[in-house]
Structure 1
Amino acid sequence: MHWSGHHIWMCVATREPPGCDGQTLKMFDQQRDGNLYKIWNRLCSGTWFPPPVLEKRIPKSNGKERILGIPTVSDRIAQGAIKLFMEEKLDPIFHADSYGYRPGKSAHDALKQCAIRCWRYSWILEVDISAFFDHVKHDLVLKALEHHGMPKWVILYCRRWMEAPMQSCENGELITRTRGTPQGGVISPLLANLFLHYAFDLWMEREYRGVPFERYADDIVVHCSRMSDATRLKNRLSERFSEVGLVLNAGKTNIAYIDTFKRRNVATSFTFLGYDFKVRTLKNFKGERYRKCVSVNGAPY
């Protein structure tokens, strides 16, 4: 494994709070070289055992909470080293319309592509997966890693990271995890992308070839020509996700009409990556009015 400790340090030196050991970035940095050597030595010898991730609860606008799992500083660096190794091999195989947490791609790339396709397609299927990161099946992730020829030591560490217990923020109790990959982990987005590459991206190519979509992690929008197409796809996605251990949130998976003609009793807006897309009356350069779906809260498209 190619190791550039200082490069990895810069990649993970964020403002994340300390993990279960209480060590901050500042404390780690006081003996950086020695600490980096210890991590490298244990990773190379197969003796890196991730400590528990620390539970952190983030309030959501709907009154519920998002649960994060915060690794220790040392474990973030260890994850960062393996992630860089894996990313070189996995990123080239990912779908062109997968935008989340990938080098050279961004949320704004996904929004721009979505806006362009809204001019060509009349219907939108806004897909919502219930608690996606909590339901990722470990065996399917490990199977995908084996399929792509990942070394056994990489698969070993990915298994350990996915199975690392979570330490309760209330009483310190260790919570065993048999599925899911913790939000807050450095390597979790890459494992999540690999999982959805097979659970959704390639399935769409196989079953609905030519139907375009944008996916940013588990935030997905699919473009359809007819309402009947969107309805059938919604039903099939529910079945597909059930096959791989996921749950389609039927209450938040919406169908919207975004074309020029007014329709009653049909949603005419959807939200993607925090931006609202709605049908609005616009004017062309001649001053003529027309209706089209546009982002109305700040996206420059």
Structure 2
Amino acid sequence: MIDAEMLLYCWGDLNKDAASGVDHVSAAQYAKDLHANVAALVEKLKEKRYRARLVRRSYIPKENGKKRPLGILVIEDKLVQLASAKLLSAIYEQEFLGCSYAYRPNRGPLDAVKDLTYELQCGAYGYVVELDIKGYFDSIDHGWLLDMLSLRIDDKAFLNLIRKWLKAGILDTDGKIIHPETGTPQGGIVSPVLANVYLHHVLDLWFEKMVKPQIRGEAQWWRFADDGVCAFRFKEDAERVYRELPKRLKA
């Protein structure tokens, strides 16, 4: 699925100013012999010799005084992940529902706010349930995610690539290596679309196919990444979904 032509195309979209990973190879250094490096990378992918490298962890300060962990990939992992993210987006853009706004072409937070505001002002909705999934990107179940992907993708080599990134070790600032058991690849370019696929199955399809047909009145659901809002005409419908949401996320 990923060839030299696609990787060279993706190179143009790669952030060349980002910090280097554990191999300390910068984008400028890699670009000095770009075509040969990409050709060698493609051969590794074809011969199944490609291995995801350790993710270098760094910390950046937050406004509240705490620090946010940041994952930094080596340049080749960034490049292959970018190509994979483009492929996944092309596949799943046909699948994602209109209620999903994050990490999609020609959609963003302003679109979500605009549509939500219009429906709440003009629709027959009297009750709202809000959802904010704490630590979502770090808690995604790897097995469930891969099962979800396999429903749409039958290329085992491609799925194995994603499995490698999910399991890639993280080199912390104290020199210790962390092996994640859950969560999307830290700092991964492919992480946003993987997170979207997961909640597409867990929440978007669930609300559309299971919640709506079983409640009394009109209902609508909007989601931006791990934040969601659902609106209902009747109080009992809102209360029912309010009780069901935590169970759904735990399951």
TM-score, with structure 2 as normaliser: 0.88
Q: Which is worse superposed, 28-37 or 198-207?
A: 28-37
CA contact (8 A) 1:58 1:68 kept: yes
Of 123, 147, 154, the match for 1:150: 154
Listed one character per residue, the Cα deviations across residues 273-300 of structure 1 (whole Å, up to 9, x for unaligned) are xxxxxxxxxxxxxxxxxxxxxxxxxxxx
Deviation at 1:153, TM superposition (A): 0.3
The residue that corresponds to 1:163 in the other structure is 167
Provide the secondary structure at the position in 2 that maps to 1:68: strand
Greater relative CO, 1 or 2 (CA 8 Å, sep 6+): 2
Equivalent residue in structure 2 for 1:240, among 242, 245, 248: 248
Partner of 2:189: 186
2:57 matched residue in structure 1: 55
Report what 1:277 is aligned to. none
The runs of 5 or more residues in structure 1 that have no matched partner are: 244-301
Change (3 A) 1:236 1:39: same
- 3-state DSSP class of the match of 1:40? helix
Q: Distance in 2 between matches of 1:150 and 1:11?
A: 27
Matched, 1:99 2:101: yes
Query: SS of 1:178's equivalent?
Result: coil
What SS does structure 2 have at the residue aligned with 1:125?
strand
TM normalised by structure 1 equals 0.74
Q: What is aligned with 1:215?
A: 223
Structure 1 residue 141: Cα displacement:
0.9
Percent identical among aligned pairs is 29
Bigger Rg, which one: 1
Give the aligned CA root-mean-square deviation in angstroms: 2.0
TM alignment of 1:102-113, pairs within 5 A? 102-113=104-115
Q: Given the alignment, which residue of 131, 135, 140 partners 2:139?
A: 135
1:6 and 2:8 are equivalent in the alignment: yes
Runs of 4+ off more than 6 Å: none
| Matched-pair contact (CA < 8 Å) for 2:60–2:69 | yes
User: Residue deviations 1:97-151, cap 9 Å, x none?
Assistant: 1111112322222122122122133333221112001110010111112111330
Q: Give the number of the structure whose residues are more often strand, by fraction.
A: 1
Number of residue pairs matched by the alignment: 242
Q: 1:92 to 1:164 in 2, by over 3 A?
A: same
Structure 2: which 5+ residue stretches go unaligned? 213-217
Instruction: Give the letter aligned to residue 78 of structure 1.
Output: V
